[in-house]
Amino acid sequence: MKQMKSPFNLDRQNNEIDSKIVVALERLSGAFRVLLWNESKQNALSPIQIQILIFLLFHPGEKCKVSYLAQEFNMTKPTISDSVKSLLEKDLVKKYEDPLDIRSYTIGLTGAGKQAAMKSADFASAIEEPLNLISGEQKEAMLAGLLKIILELNRAGVITIQRMCFTCSNYSVVNGNHYCKLLQARLANNELRVDCKEHEPKVEL
């Protein structure tokens, strides 16, 4: 019988490292789901509400809009609006209207929202801990591989928003090294950023 091409087909998986990596990534994404779900149960908030609070805690105001959040979390605008409405009712976020456009607003944390976000921000620490057991070299190889996968998924339209070096207009390769024009510095492999505050999207011609 012809082998099914699924990475979840155990015969294929046992013979191909690519399939094993796909399945391992799926396990990790399951771990994120479980940890986020536990956090949401403890706080009587939905997983997406927790994610919104954490995003607002660490990102500048211009990104804290319903439309941006919808792209960030691959959800529809009405779904994000519902979550924001619920966070407003719980007094965890507040709206800042744009004086130039009354239909537009950004969302910010209230004092209580900031506390809730800070409490939940390390929900993934159980995934961070085992990294202590991995060497610096292995981590660099992992990061390089993951960035490449994210970049290709971004190009394929599976992951929409990206704020990593490889999609940034400030990124270039100089003499074979990663280089950031904004920081005016060479970036070592372990300095490449996944979510950079200064990221400026590349304009594709």
Positions that interact with ligand SF4 (CB under 6 A): 165, 168, 170-171, 180, 182-183, 193, 196, 198-199
Smallest separation (angstroms) from ligand SF4 to the CB of 46: 30
88 vs 194, beta carbon nearer ligand SF4: 194
Which are the contacts of 51, defined by CB distance < 8 A and separation ≥ 6? 36, 73
DSSP string computed for the chain: -PPP--TT-HHHHHH-HHHHHHHHHHHHHHHHHHHHHHHHHHHT--HHHHHHHHHHHHS-GGG-SHHHHHHHTT--HHHHHHHHHHHHHTTSEEEEEETTEEEEEEEEE-HHHHHHHHHHTTTTHHHHGGGGGS-HHHHHHHHHHHHHHHHHHHHTTSS---BSGGGBTTEEEETTEEEETTTTEEE-GGG--SB-TT--B----
Smallest separation (angstroms) from ligand SF4 to the CB of 161: 13
Smallest separation (angstroms) from ligand SF4 to the CB of 180: 3
56 vs 165, beta carbon nearer ligand SF4: 165
142 vs 183, beta carbon nearer ligand SF4: 183
126 vs 182, beta carbon nearer ligand SF4: 182
Smallest separation (angstroms) from ligand SF4 to the CB of 179: 8
Smallest separation (angstroms) from ligand SF4 to the CB of 104: 26
54 vs 168, beta carbon nearer ligand SF4: 168
